[in-house]
Amino acid sequence: MKHELPKLPYSYDALEPHIDAQTMEIHHSKHHQGYVDNLNKALEKYPGLQSRSVEDLLSALHSLKVEEGDRAAIQNNGGGHANHSLFWTLMGAKKELDRGLAGEIESAFGDVAKFKELFTTAATTRFGSGWAWLVKDENNKLQIYSTANQDSPLTLGHTPLIGLDVWEHAYYLKYQNKRADYISAWWSALKLL
């Protein structure tokens, strides 16, 4: 079984003006496709791993019986595939506030506004390329942090709930070096909160 690029659940221009159509098209059809292709390439030597989901591969990353170079390729490209697959589903037309999630956020961080502030700081201060995350950790507690590159919280035994891509490819066409402006626009594209 080969991994495949998931369809976007909306059109490339659906997140305008917050995220522009050209960025969405390149991000999805070139960057995400590249992670999928390179993940498939990394798994060519390992037929036993080819039927496992990308989430499963990342959760088991450190115990996979693979060469170290291939482990790094699975970390980077499997992470890229899983992270973006989640990312697309988080955005879209605003839905009614998810009371379950909001309630958990309130008990963990005080209120949704405080959560947004902490998450924004994690996204703003990630040096270089990476992601900001809201995760459920191994004790079922919510945590906010960032990871470098395409590193997935799944490799730490955590379940990602909300992820924000802060690679320049996610915003450079519209926002250039102004990552903070992109992050603030992204909150408007997030459908959950």
Q: Identify the three-state secondary structure at position 10.
A: coil
Residue 129 Cβ vs Mn ion, minimum distance, rounded to whole Å: 9
Q: Does 151 engage in binding with Mn ion (CB under 5 A)?
A: no
Preceding omega of 153 cis (within 30 degrees of 0) = no
Neighbours of 164 (CB within 10 A): 24
Residue 169 Cβ vs Mn ion, minimum distance, rounded to whole Å: 5
Tokens of 22: 């050209």
Q: Identify the three-state secondary structure at position 31.
A: helix
The interface with Mn ion within residues 32-61 (CB under 5 A) comprises none
Dist CA 37 CA 81 (whole Å): 9
Residue 166 Cβ vs Mn ion, minimum distance, rounded to whole Å: 9
Q: Does 165 engage in binding with Mn ion (CB under 5 A)?
A: yes
Neighbours of 183 (CB within 10 A): 21
Residue 193 Cβ vs Mn ion, minimum distance, rounded to whole Å: 21
Of 38-46, 69-77, 115-123, 165-173, the window that binds Mn ion (rule: CB under 5 A) is: 165-173
Output 50 or 124, the one with its CB closest to Mn ion. 124
Output 104 or 165, the one with its CB closest to Mn ion. 165
Unique residue bearing structure tokens 């791993």: 49
Rounded to 5°, angle at Cα 164 from 159 and 170: 140
Number of residues that bind Mn ion (CB under 5 A): 3
Residue 114 Cβ vs Mn ion, minimum distance, rounded to whole Å: 27
Of 123-131, 158-166, 173-181, 185-193, the window that binds Mn ion (rule: CB under 5 A) is: 158-166
Q: Is 149 exposed, middle or buried (0-12, 13-18, 19+ CB in 10 A)?
A: middle
- For Mn ion, which residue has the nearest CB? 165
Output 45 or 178, the one with its CB closest to Mn ion. 178
Binding site for Mn ion (CB under 5 A): 165, 167, 170
